[in-house]
Amino acid sequence: MAIEGPLRELGIHDVFQLLDLSRKTGVLRVVSELRDNEGVVAFHAGRIAYASIRSNPHPIGEMLLKANKIAESDLNAARTRQTEHGDRRRIGEILIDMGAVTARDVEQYVRRQAEAVVFELMSWREGHFRFEESNPSEFPENPSVAVSTESVLMEAARRIDEWSRIADRVPSLSAIPDFADVADGHHAGQLDLLPSEWEVLTLIDGQRDLRRIALELARSDFDVAKVVYGLVSTGVVALRAPDRRSRAVEFTADEDAERQAAARALVLQGLASVRGGRLEDALRVWKQYLEAYPADKDAPAVRDGLSAAERLQRATEVLRGE
């Protein structure tokens, strides 16, 4: 059975929750013509078994290799099994079978991969999704390395919330970093950077945007954006919008999508706090949301929710005799 529709009617967060709660097994494809991008997420009994996105695929094998979890010979051998021996399993499963890596390590990087993909998909406000259900007994993914959909959604929401705090300096992944003018020697002898920061610096050439740097480093867009935020804040790097007009339009569209995603993340964070009985957290988050996004489409409902939460908090204090 297929489930499909436009994202403007059912947001990607709601799609993921639906597949999680109904414990679906199959493959979800999300396509955005505006962004010329496609995301693919495989589910096994509601859990995420695999995720990729065309713009920044982050293959599991390359992630494990870069993290020194496997040797290049291990990865080549696993790829040979796929191409020459017709092994339909994914690289991570083959590497586990070979004894090159543990299931726990693969699960860790499946989670990282899924978080990066879901973080990107949650910013999409246009596009189309289609979920094709499969028989669990015939599904090729290994459920032992599937990860919790709920935890991935929560991490993506946290990232979007954090993105809203760095957006003043890093407004878009289409931004191009370049070295700031430090001719005055102000920073001379004062750079004390982490290895992750040096990695990013080596790819800054005034031509690559943040997405391209993340792709070449096999790291998530979010991680690279955080590193660049620190470099911009210390005056080492400056950002500019793409030169070509078409890219400048994309830059503006990305900014708007990221603001909407950040707003939605705060709404969801407040709801999660209410469900968990953490009223003070819900009040804090929703006040932050209303201050930052007073004209957002969810603002009226959040104001009502905030009023109800405040009344409940006062009633609880009275009952406690506070």
Instruction: Give pLDDT, residue 250.
Output: 43
CA distance 28 to 267: 25
Residue ranges of alpha helices (H) inside 100-188 are: 103-121, 149-166
Domain count, the chain: 3
Do 222 and 277 have their domain in common? no
C-beta of residue 302 within 8 angstroms of C-beta of residue 274: no
Instruction: Give pLDDT, residue 144.
Output: 59
Last residue of a domain, one of 148, 164, 190: 148
Last residue of a domain, one of 240, 268, 288: 240
Instruction: Express each pLDDT in 89-132 by its tens digit.
Output: 788 888 998 999 998 888 888 888 888 888 888 878 889 999 99
Do 139 and 12 have their domain in common? yes
Do 38 and 82 have their domain in common? yes
CA distance 161 to 167: 10
Do 83 and 181 have their domain in common? no
Do 220 and 272 have their domain in common? no
Do 35 and 115 have their domain in common? yes
Is 0.75 surpassed by the pTM of this model? no
What is the span of the domain harbouring residue 273?
A: 245-320
Which residue type occupies 20? Answer: D
Token pair recorded at residue 218 = 């096999």
Instruction: Give pLDDT, residue 253.
Output: 45
111 is a domain residue: yes
Do 38 and 106 have their domain in common? yes
Do 9 and 133 have their domain in common? yes
Do 25 and 105 have their domain in common? yes
CATH of the domain at 304: 1.20.58
Sign, CA torsion 214/220/222/223: negative
Do 6 and 144 have their domain in common? yes
309 is a domain residue: yes
Instruction: Express each pLDDT in 214-253 by its tens digit.
Output: 877 777 788 899 999 999 998 889 998 876 544 433 434 4
Binned average pLDDT, 10 residues per bin, the chain of 322 residues: 84 89 92 88 90 79 85 91 78 89 87 84 87 73 73 86 84 87 54 83 90 80 89 90 52 51 69 70 80 81 81 74 66
Instruction: Give pLDDT, residue 130.
Output: 93
30 is a domain residue: yes
Do 69 and 107 have their domain in common? yes
